[in-house]
Amino acid sequence: MLLLALATVPAQAQQVIVRPDSAEALALRRHPRLRQSAQEIEEQRALKRGSFSLRNPDFLFSAPTGERWAPGVVQTIDFPTVYRQQARNAQAGITLAERGLDVNRATVRRDVRLAYLALQVAEAQVRQLTYQDSLYRALQVATDRLFKAGEVTSLQRISTEAEARQVANQLAQAVVDRRSAQRRLGLLLGLPEADLTTGTDLRRTGQELARVGTELLAGLPAQDSTALAQSPTLAYYAQNVGLSQSGISLVRARRTPALTVGYQNQAFADSPIKYRLQFGVSVPLYFWTYRSQLQAATARTKAAQAQAQVQQLELGTQYQQALADTRKFAASLTYFEQTGLPQATAIISQSQRLFRAGEISYLVFIQSLNQAFDIQNNYLATIRDYRQAITELNYLRGQ
């Protein structure tokens, strides 16, 4: 439906409302990272189909009597355990590629969620600064009128103009940031030139965010290992260890003797038996070659195990940081919802009323407005940081 809307609306009038679920679904269908993972899986499946790979046959011509050349062929066949282990190793490679697809899928989901959040924040900042800009413009007009009437000083007039210009500059920057956020999200969705919008005011999602965060924190397990049990990253590195261990088994299987079979024409044309057969055994005599290969495979396995432990440690550290951030911003959001925002609204309305009535000075009025707007901006920053922390927690948990 999103693609159909883009195809039917003129380019200069395109504005598409994107929902979080539809954005994730579209990115999962079109992101090149996932196409790359799909091709890697196909590569490993193709390699598995060739796991029963015979050595190239040897075509021979010999002259046992010195009178004529006799053609023949010799084929070397590995021990059956070699082919079986090659198939297992190929299957481990397929599983590793599938785990890589899971990691990339989780990464794309996280990137889309963060890009969507960035667009929501940019839109909310534009709304906030638009309101501030209109308020300061009205204040500037009123100050100019009062200055002409001799009721305010030149310093107050210049200060008001400076505040208004500063807010206007911030608004212009916010509009640029919003376009940048639209493009980042559009690149993930394969729609870089579309005029995307979330269609929601991030400042009005505080209560829903608080509920989601509370439920998430209440359902988290106490142990990090349990919380990260479904992590696709840990599953990938664990499978990498399995692939390395399969490589050890493959090297050991190749140390077994191989069977050599062949046939060749008889030396004399009038021989009663037209062909003579030959059988032999290929002996792994050069043991140092297999020993070095086994040592390399063992070292590779230990390196993979160490890498998995490093990832476990890093993800555990990231999980603890995300958990601490989530709890911290949950408390901050509660403050803003219960105290900060009502106070900011009251400060703006009362300071306007008192200034019009001449009960507070111009300086107090400006300070009150700036204090209220700082509270509102900090509230928006808290929602952004809270959502980022929850997104990181879900990513680490494989959600």
What's the average model confidence in pLDDT over 358-377? 86
What pLDDT, on the 0 to 100 scale, is given for residue 121?
Answer: 93
Which residue, among 132, 127, 143, 121, has the nearest Cα to 165 in the 3D structure? 132
What's the average model confidence in pLDDT over 352-373? 84
Sorting pLDDT into bands at 50, 70 and 90, what band is 159? confident
What pLDDT, on the 0 to 100 scale, is given for residue 274?
Answer: 65
pLDDT at 147 over 50: yes
Q: How far apart are CA 63 and CA 69, in angstroms?
A: 5
Q: How far apart are CA 23 and CA 21, in angstroms?
A: 5
H or E, element range at 60:
strand 58-62
For the chain, the structural domain boundaries read 2-396
Q: Which CATH architecture has domain 2-396?
A: Up-down Bundle (1.20)
pLDDT tens-digit readout, 218-258: 888 877 778 888 899 999 999 999 999 998 888 888 888 88
What pLDDT, on the 0 to 100 scale, is given for residue 65?
Answer: 64
What pLDDT, on the 0 to 100 scale, is given for residue 7?
Answer: 45
CB 318 within 8 A of CB 392: yes
Q: What does pTM read for this prediction? A: 0.84
First-to-last C-alpha distance (Å) of the chain: 26
pLDDT tens-digit readout, 300-347: 999 999 999 999 999 999 999 999 999 999 999 999 989 999 999 999
Sorting pLDDT into bands at 50, 70 and 90, what band is 398? confident
What pLDDT, on the 0 to 100 scale, is given for residue 267?
Answer: 61
- DSSP assignment of 87-142, as one string? HHHHHHHHHHHHHHHHHHHHHHHHHHHHHHHHHHHHHHHHHHHHHHHHHHHHHHHH
Q: Indicate the pairing of strand 16-17 with strand 196-197.
A: parallel
Q: Which amino acid is at 129?
A: L
CA distances from residue 322 to 233, 329, 386, 393 in whole angstroms, order as listed = 16, 10, 10, 6
Alpha carbon 284 to its chain's center: 47
What pLDDT, on the 0 to 100 scale, is given for residue 15?
Answer: 80
- Tell me the backbone φ, ψ of residue 16, rounded to 5 degrees: -110, 125
Return the sign of the alpha-carbon dihedral for residues 17, 18, 22, 23: positive
Contacts of 157 (CB under 8 A, 6+ apart): 143, 144, 147
